Structure 1
Amino acid sequence: MRLTLLATLPLVLLAGAGAPSIAAAGQAGETPPSAKPFRETVIADFVSPWAIAFLPDERILVTEKAGQMILLSADGRRRQTIATLPVDSAGQGGLMDVVPAPDFATSRRIYFSYSAKGAGGKGVVLARGRLRDDGRGGDRLGEIEAVFQARPFVAGDGHYSGRIAFAPDGQSLFFTNGERQKFTPAQDPQATLGKVLRLTLDGKPAPGNPLAVKGFAPEVWSYGHRNLLGIAFDGAGRLWEQEMGPKGGDELNLILPGRNYGWPTVSNGSHYDGRDIPDHAPGDGYEPPKVWWNPVISPGGLMIYSGNLFPQWKGDAFIGGLSSQSLVHVDLDGQTAGKADQWPMGARIRDVDQGPDGAIWLIEDGGKSAGRLIRLTPR
């Protein structure tokens, strides 16, 4: 399947605009933000950026919502647009995640996601290309092909998700499909919407997916999700995922094969019109979140730290906060998680990543203001 893409509006808030909170899961109250234990260095500005990723040579890939994929030098002084992709960028759509292939050093492949129009409406697409010399002293992304698209395409411009994580062995990848603000597809076994998917590197259903024998779409790894905007492996190979709740109930989940995470049947939030949704409860048959937030943080990107610059945080999760305009730190301990810190950043944080030297990098959502790329180092 060759790449077919499409174009952009400003991002809308993906969850309720609750005040930043670090309340313990299931409890009321707030903890004041900790003093920031890091220095912030602004590296570059972008227009509505969505994701960042590092190449082995320390150059930085940045996607912009309108369809530009940019390659930035390690010091931020030189930038080049390596592809301009005709994505459908209305509402929450656009050019989304970007991740170099595990074998990038030899294959030069880069995987990315975007929203597109097609039969039935719109949906999220997984694609890949190959970084090549452009013959003029720079680089370009060529051999672009779409390898997977969500099923079905539906009307609307929200909850695409589209985050990518390669399995630790590099032989498969995990791809998030949001439920497109349609609720029920998250529990529909034949839809890929509202699911974590496990695919081969060519975008096919990966062998051994747990629910194929139960009549599910063969790509499905877990289901009952809402808007999955972060996914990452920890050092022990456990898969973590974060998602937007409705009015309250943002979640950090440990993703286990074949499990049902409950949306829209259960949630620790409520409908936007005030109608109640039953909370997660022991014995209800659904996998509960390891951490949840109410008021919301509106989680953006997810990173699990493995560097040495901040040794006290090794193995912990970091989440970009959109409406909360924060960087959120979650303590991970095996299969358990607990809230640790929430630092106000003064802007919507769309993505968070770890640099080659162990620095923490953030990118702001942008929109009406600059979308700054910021490097965090110990104070």
Structure 2
Amino acid sequence: MKRRTQMTLISLGMSAALAVQAADYRIETVAQGLNHPWSLAFLPDGRMLVTERTGQLRLIDAQGNLQAEPLSGVPEVYVERQAGLFEVALDPEFAENQRLFLSYACGTESANNTCLASARLTDTGLEQVNELFRAEFAKRGGAHYGGRIAFLPDHTLILTLGDAFIHREEAQNPANHLGAIVRLHRDGSVPEDNPFVGQEGARPELYSIGHRNVQGLVWDAEQQRLLAHEHGPRGGDELNLIEPGLNYGWPKITYGVDYSGAVISPYTEMDGMQQPLVQWTPSIAPSGMTLYRGEQFPAWEGNLLIGALAGQHVRRVVLEGNQVTEQESLFGELGVRIRDVRTAADGSLYLLTDSPQGQVLRVSAP
């Protein structure tokens, strides 16, 4: 479906508000000047929390004003290349306990990985900060951390991880957490019904293995399914239906090749390894994802909306059952890397742009 769009830049003193008028949507700037914003969470009172990869947790008030000072109490974050502060996610019972969860890179250049912490949000910052999980083993470098969070109906927490880039073969090794998705209770303990519990040599936190770098995650309550996407190398990005105990193949099977053009694996299929619902070659570099449920854009109801970094658009994916039947590129006229996509309570969309001068954009019906 093609769109006719016009772009207008409106100057407001020292700042600029971007307004894009299209046949069926309008885009406006909510906040700007954020340092590589990574994740957004809506608070019940109309405020928003935004993480910056560089280690800050920022607050946008109910009137849409970005507060000048970051919130205090954020745990120590290792910041280097892709490493930093990732997801902020509200506890399913946030209204009662004011608890939230943060994923972030922790450690040092020579020994780091993905961490998960919980904290209580106050008017000035975070209190009762508690590290709940630290992925093992500690590795070198600053690449491939995953970091997305979702909650299952039983309120257990799903956290995505990465293969650390230099340890891709470990994604097939259940003795560590690299290249995996894990499931935890909200206090960090291990659910007894996790699929790898009791298996000799396997980490009990594991929920699925064989992933490269999972940076999109949603629970589809209507269809009772967990969906995730991950970065491929040069091509071979994947959208997967995640089921407990399954192996998603990386790096034994892949539709991508190495950045040098070298073959990683000659196989795209193998017994005992799951096929993606769809794969993207060339890569769109997916990051962030929402399952749209809202009244402002009825044509998108039930569709996945996926941020694309390299693709510089939002990819709309239509699923009928577990089959991808249609795709569409949205908001490409912005010409920006999209790090996260969220659906607000009023049915509007919020986008985070990946830049040292990143923005929070709101997409609404005209």
Question: What TM-score, normalized to structure 2?
Answer: 0.88
Partner of 2:351: 362
Partner of 1:185: 170
Amino acid of the residue matched to residue 213 of structure 2?
A: N
SS at match of 2:188: coil
Distance in 2, matches of 1:335 and 1:130, equals 38
5+ residue gaps, structure 2, are: 5-21
Partner of 2:278: 291
5+ residue gaps, structure 1, are: 1-31, 134-138
Aligned counterpart in structure 2 of residue 150 of structure 1, from 135, 138, 154: 135
* CA drift at 1:90: 0.5
Aligned counterpart in structure 2 of residue 98 of structure 1, from 67, 70, 88: 88
Amino acid of the residue matched to residue 304 of structure 1?
A: L
Structural RMSD (CA):
1.7
* CA drift at 1:347: 0.7
Query: In 2, are the aligned partners of 1:280 and 1:286 still within 8 Å (CA)?
Result: no
Partner of 1:228: 214
Distance in 2, matches of 1:311 and 1:58, equals 23
SS at match of 1:203: coil
Query: In 2, are the aligned partners of 1:322 and 1:349 still within 8 Å (CA)?
Result: yes
* CA drift at 1:238: 0.5
SS at match of 1:312: helix
Partner of 2:17: none
**Does 2:93 match 1:116?**
no
* CA drift at 1:176: 0.7
Distance in 2, matches of 1:82 and 1:53, equals 14
**% of aligned pairs identical?**
38
Distance in 1, matches of 2:310 and 2:75, equals 28
Distance in 1, matches of 2:351 and 2:88, equals 15
Partner of 2:45: 57
Cα 1:78–1:266, aligned 2, differ >3 Å: closer, same or farther? closer
Cα 1:375–1:201, aligned 2, differ >3 Å: closer, same or farther? same
Amino acid of the residue matched to residue 153 of structure 1?
A: A
Distance in 2, matches of 1:354 and 1:211, equals 33
Aligned counterpart in structure 2 of residue 251 of structure 1, from 238, 242, 246: 238
1:1-379 mapped onto 2 (5 Å cutoff) = 34-35=3-4, 37-45=24-32, 46-79=34-67, 81-83=70-72, 84-117=74-107, 121-133=111-123, 139-170=124-155, 172-181=156-165, 182-215=167-200, 216-235=202-221, 236-276=223-263, 277-281=265-269, 284-343=271-330, 344=332, 345-367=334-356, 370-379=357-366
Amino acid of the residue matched to residue 103 of structure 1?
A: E
Q: How many aligned positions are there? A: 339
Distance in 1, matches of 2:361 and 2:183, equals 32
Cα 1:44–1:260, aligned 2, differ >3 Å: closer, same or farther? same
Amino acid of the residue matched to residue 119 of structure 2?
A: G
Cα 1:302–1:279, aligned 2, differ >3 Å: closer, same or farther? farther
